[in-house]
Amino acid sequence: MRSIILAGLCSAALLTGAAYAQSGAPIKIADVAELSGGGATVGNNWKNGIDLAVEEINAKGGILGRKIEVSHADSQSNPGVARAQVQKALDGEPYVLLGPGYSGSVKVTAPLAAEAGITQIMGGEAAELTQAGNKFLFRTSFGQQSSMPKVAKYINDELKAKSVAVVWVNNDFGRGGRDVITKEFNRLGIKVAADLSTEAGQADFAADVSKIKAAAPDAVFIYVNEEESARILKEIKRQGVTAPLIGETTLVGQKVIELAGDAANGARGHVGLTTDAPVEAVKAFRDRFVKKYNYVPDHNGLKGYLAIYMVKATTEKMGKVDSKAFADTLHGLTIKTSAEPNILMDVTFDQNGDIDRQGFLVEVVEGKQVVKQVLPKLN
Amino acid sequence: MSNLLDLIVAGLATGAIYALVAVGFTLLWQTSQTINFAQGEFVMLPAFLMLAVMHLGAPFWLAVLVGIALSALLLGLAFKMLLVDPMLRHGVLPLAIATMALAIGIKEVVKQFFSAEASPFPSIVPVGDVSILGRAISLQSLGVLAVAILAVVGLTTLLNRTSLGHQMQAAAQNPTVARIIGVPVERMILLTFLINAVLVALASVLITPIYLAKFSSGEVLGQAAFIAAIVGGFNQVRGAIAGGLLIGVVDNLAAAYVSTQYRAAVPMLLLILMILFRPQGLLGRAEERTV
């Protein structure tokens, strides 16, 4: 009889232990980002944003009582490497996959995550990414289909421009942006005075700027990556082009301002996320980030940070850690700052994984981003 | 028409920088049969050396001078003694391959120690325009053109008007005879390596404010200067100058009137045509094969 009681007690102890291990095991999240190569600025900001959010959440006891454990892998800013790293990360059966930041890398990795049924929260902005019917892919910032109409409207309503030169980079990101904005210009009756395709990594923009000068547009829309933005801004200043320069985050980001110096002054753009936003929660985030890393993050730092709080809010909404139900829960979900203050601004996710949130129109004034207009959330 | 003038002026300014780099190609080839495939990285590196000196608190002008001196030491003296001398005795091809490896090595070291991201670099010429014949011409373009022309004129004066230059030419044209008549051939060869190092450092100061300091920026430059040297004439300094200016202008006109995607192909096409119909280049001498 004594042995039966003993066995019973042992079994009970083992079962309790197993149950405890199940509920207390850390939530594994995998991140694949551009930690080296051309996109190192993007990837490292993204990673640091993630780490800051994880540290905050774990310090408060984690999500539903479970700590978060994040692994970071380097895509080297190369879609081929990104694909291999994502495959490796998925083999580890993560709860959610984060990254990459480059649209080209997202494009080749998204089918892998979808096939594994794992939600992928990424930083890419190319319009086509969320238009392929992938039910597991979510953005952390606006896609081009959300941001470009706002830029076109600003050029039409505020600048009253009748003709625009469009400068774009010949890759997935640039082509996507150019296609959407050209369609918007056509709709608004704005003439595309020059349609200039440039190459990724292009060093010399003298000929492109000469063409802009010859076309004499009312405004210039620039949609190239950060380094090329800096080079073309310098060349535009060198050749004395005076038309207003409009773009997106990649024209007015911190790195562009650092590289282009005075030439960046006057450039205007729509940004979905900026640490200069007139929002108290964003300012507080910026202070916490600067305290931890000793530099001011760009929008990618915000994206990484928000990705983790998207995971937290969605999981708490479900009331359980369930990777299979995660995507379904996030579709159509609105996360309010009243419920989750660290989501920083109210945000809604639609059925494609695109987001609706307030945005900003900024201008570079004396080497600093100045928010000129707040564009409200649509719904 | 005014657009064409702008394109030609900007093309000449870029071409002048290509010319400086291409002259280095021809100097090294003439004196030591070295085809330096790391020439583009030789232009990229001095900018980072100068930035490193500026990080230590030195003003820009001092950083430029120290950068040129370090360039002479590393890309002139050390390059010759540690890579060219040991490899050249095995033939031109192993040396050419060794310089390719050196190019990769320099890029990776810069990436490791600085970063993969681009950095801004100050310009020695202020931003602004100057009016010439009623046309606003960029001061930067003119400044780049002026510095490059001064460097080339200085070099050609040294080569053609001074005893040292004549000794260098003698060492390049026929080292055996030059030795017999008392020319210190080894010292002359070393001098050409030092001159090349100074030219690339100068090109670095001129081009980096436009291209930004980045580990990979030498790739485009090295290729353009190599094409310029062949198109102009690999065995003539004046050929390299003409080739550099021509490639600069052709590249700009191609980007404007053909397409940006095919701009890199147009100088290549010129290179192929030149090899097919005038292998010695525009101003080069035809050479007989010795074997």
Q: Is residue A22 predicted with pLDDT exceeding 50?
A: no
Q: Is residue A314 part of a domain?
A: yes
Element (H or E) spanning A271, and its range? strand A268-271
Do A218 and A333 fall into the same domain? no
User: What average pLDDT does the segment B23-41 reach?
Assistant: 89
Query: How far away is chain B from the Cα of A50, in angstroms, using its nearest Cα?
Result: 21
Q: Is ipTM strictly over 0.85? A: no
Helices (H), B56-174: 60-71, 79, 85-88, 92-113, 139-161, 163-173
pTM: predicted TM-score of the whole model, two decimal places = 0.79
Q: Is residue A125 part of a domain?
A: yes
Q: Strand runs (DSSP E) across A162-211, as ranges?
A: 163-169, 191-198
B108 touches chain A (CB under 8 A): no
Residue located via tokens 């892919």? A137
Q: Which pLDDT value is given to residue A32?
A: 98
**Tokens (6 digits) for B112:** 């490791």
Query: How far away is chain B from the Cα of A17, in angstroms, using its nearest Cα?
Result: 48
Identify which of B158, B166, B245, B192 has the alpha carbon closest to the alpha carbon of residue B34: B192
Q: Which of A271, A294, A323 is the last residue of a domain?
A: A271
Q: How many CB atoms lie within 10 A of CB A270?
A: 26
The radius of gyration of chain A from alpha carbons, rounded to an integer in Å, stands at 23
Three-state secondary structure of B224-278: HHHHHHHHHCCCCHHHHHHHHHHHHHHHHHHHHHCCCCCCCHHHHHHHHHHHHHC
Interhelix angle for A40-59 vs A299-318, to 10°?
A: 40
Q: Is residue A17 part of a domain?
A: no
The residue among B47 and B135 whose pLDDT is bigger is: B47
Percentage helix, strand, coil, to 5, in chain A?
A: 50, 20, 30
A216 touches chain B (CB under 8 A): no
- From chain B residues 186-225, the ones with a CB under 8 A of any chain A CB are 209-212, 214, 216-217, 220
Q: Which of A271, A292, A312 is the last residue of a domain?
A: A271
Q: Is residue A350 predicted with pLDDT exceeding 90?
A: yes
Q: Which pLDDT value is given to residue B6?
A: 78
Do A137 and A156 fall into the same domain? no
**Residue B77 pLDDT grade (very low, low, confident, very high; cuts 50, 70, 90):** very high
Three-state secondary structure of A54-88: HHHHHHCCCECCECEEEEEEECCCCHHHHHHHHHH
In 3-state terms, what secondary structure has residue A48? helix
Q: Is residue B1 predicted with pLDDT exceeding 60?
A: no
Q: What is the pLDDT of residues A129-176, one digit of tens each?
A: 998 899 999 999 998 888 898 899 999 999 999 999 999 998 888 998
For B138, the closest of A196, A202, A239 (CB atoms) is A239
Q: Which pLDDT value is given to residue A23?
A: 57
Q: Are B25 and B234 in contact (CB under 8 A)?
A: yes
Q: Is B7–A230 a contact, with Cβ atoms under 8 angstroms apart? A: no
Of chain B, the percentage scoring pLDDT greater than 90 comes to: 44
At residue A247's C-alpha, the angle toward residues B141 and A32, to 5°, is: 105
Do A249 and A183 fall into the same domain? yes
Q: Which pLDDT value is given to residue B289?
A: 47
Task: Give CA–CA dist B93/B262, Å, rounded.
Answer: 30
Do A137 and A153 fall into the same domain? no
Q: Is residue A37 part of a domain?
A: yes
Q: What is the pLDDT of residues A86-139, one digit of tens each?
A: 999 999 999 999 999 998 899 999 999 999 999 999 999 888 899 889 999 999
| Burial tier of B276 (Cβ tally within 10 Å: 0-12, 13-18, 19+) | exposed
Average pLDDT over chain A reads: 90
Q: Of the given ranges (A24-38, A56-70, A301-315, B64-78), which has the lowest mean pLDDT?
A: A24-38
A237 touches chain B (CB under 8 A): yes
Nearest CA in chain B to A194: B256
A366 touches chain B (CB under 8 A): no
**Residue B287 pLDDT grade (very low, low, confident, very high; cuts 50, 70, 90):** low
**Tokens (6 digits) for B288:** 């007989």
Do A176 and A197 fall into the same domain? yes
B6 touches chain A (CB under 8 A): yes
Q: Is residue A14 part of a domain?
A: no
Report chain A residues whose CB lies below 8 A from the CB of B117. 40-41, 227, 255
Do A134 and A27 fall into the same domain? yes
Q: Is residue A80 part of a domain?
A: yes
Q: Is residue A370 predicted with pLDDT exceeding 70?
A: yes
Check residue A345 and report its DSSP letter. S
Q: Is residue A185 part of a domain?
A: yes
A227 touches chain B (CB under 8 A): yes
Report chain B residues whose CB lies below 8 A from the CB of A40. 115-117
**Tokens (6 digits) for A122:** 């990424």
Interface residue of B51, B108, B114, B127 to substitute, partner A, most A CBs within 10 Å: B127
C-alpha separations of A92 from A70, A87, A100, A106, A311 in Å: 12, 9, 17, 19, 18
**Tokens (6 digits) for A202:** 């292009």
Nearest CA in chain A to B9: A206
Question: For residue A119, what are the domain limits?
Answer: 22-142+277-358
The CATH number covering residue A229 comes to: 3.40.50.2300
Do A333 and A236 fall into the same domain? no
For A259, the closest of B118, B251, B256 (CB atoms) is B118
Q: Which pLDDT value is given to residue B279?
A: 87
Q: Is residue A17 predicted with pLDDT exceeding 90?
A: no
C-alpha separations of A280 from A283, A286, A312, A375 in Å: 5, 10, 21, 17
Interface residue of A197, A204, A235 to substitute, partner B, most B CBs within 10 Å: A204
Q: Strand runs (DSSP E) across A272-358, as ranges?
A: 334-335, 347-349, 355-356
Q: Evaluate the omega torsion of the peptide bond into residue A100 and state whether it is cis, within 30 degrees of 0.
A: yes
**Residue B148 pLDDT grade (very low, low, confident, very high; cuts 50, 70, 90):** confident
Do A128 and A154 fall into the same domain? no
Query: How far away is chain A from the Cα of B47, in angstroms, using its nearest Cα?
Result: 15
Q: What is the pLDDT of residues A246-296, one digit of tens each?
A: 999 889 988 899 899 999 999 999 998 998 899 999 999 999 999 999 988
A61 touches chain B (CB under 8 A): no
- Total number of domains constituting chain A: 2
For B217, the closest of A198, A203, A235 (CB atoms) is A203
Q: What is the pLDDT of residues A124-139, one digit of tens each?
A: 988 889 988 999 999 9
User: What average pLDDT does the segment A227-233 reach?
Assistant: 93
Q: Which pLDDT value is given to residue B89?
A: 85
Residue located via tokens 């984690």? A62
HSE-CB of B136 using CA atoms within 13 angstroms: 10
Q: Is residue B256 predicted with pLDDT exceeding 80?
A: yes
**Residue A13 pLDDT grade (very low, low, confident, very high; cuts 50, 70, 90):** very low
Q: What is the pLDDT of residues A202-212, one digit of tens each?
A: 888 988 998 89
Q: Is B115–A239 a contact, with Cβ atoms under 8 angstroms apart? A: no
Task: Give CA–CA dist A310/A49, Å, rounded.
Answer: 13
Provide the edge-to-edge strand list for the sheet that holds A334-335.
A334-335, A347-349, A355-356
Q: Is residue A25 predicted with pLDDT exceeding 70?
A: yes
Phi, psi angles (nearest 5°) of residue B236: -135, 130
Identify which of A200, A209, A255, A249 has the alpha carbon closest to the alpha carbon of residue A228: A200
Q: Is B252–A207 a contact, with Cβ atoms under 8 angstroms apart? A: yes
Q: Is A240–B138 a contact, with Cβ atoms under 8 angstroms apart? A: yes
Q: Is B127–A262 a contact, with Cβ atoms under 8 angstroms apart? A: yes
Task: Give CA–CA dist A293/B66, Å, rounded.
Answer: 33
Q: Are B178 and B171 in contact (CB under 8 A)?
A: yes
Q: Where do the domains of chain B lie?
A: 2-218
Q: Which residues pair with A334 in a beta bridge?
A: A348
Q: Is B14–A206 a contact, with Cβ atoms under 8 angstroms apart? A: yes
Do A219 and A291 fall into the same domain? no
Write down how long chain B is: 291
Q: Which pLDDT value is given to residue A181?
A: 95
For A214, the closest of B3, B216, B252 (CB atoms) is B3
Q: Is residue B135 predicted with pLDDT exceeding 90?
A: no
A200 touches chain B (CB under 8 A): no
Average pLDDT over chain B reads: 88
C-alpha separations of A307 from A54, A274, A312, B39 in Å: 10, 15, 9, 45
Nearest CA in chain B to A198: B260
B8 touches chain A (CB under 8 A): no
Task: Give CA–CA dist B276/A118, Å, rounded.
Answer: 57
Task: Give CA–CA dist B49/B70, Å, rounded.
Answer: 8
Q: Which pLDDT value is given to residue A69?
A: 97
Do A251 and A179 fall into the same domain? yes
Report chain A residues whose CB lies below 8 A from the CB of B120. 230, 258-261
Q: What is the pLDDT of residues A303-348, one digit of tens each?
A: 999 999 999 999 999 999 999 899 999 999 999 999 999 999 999 9
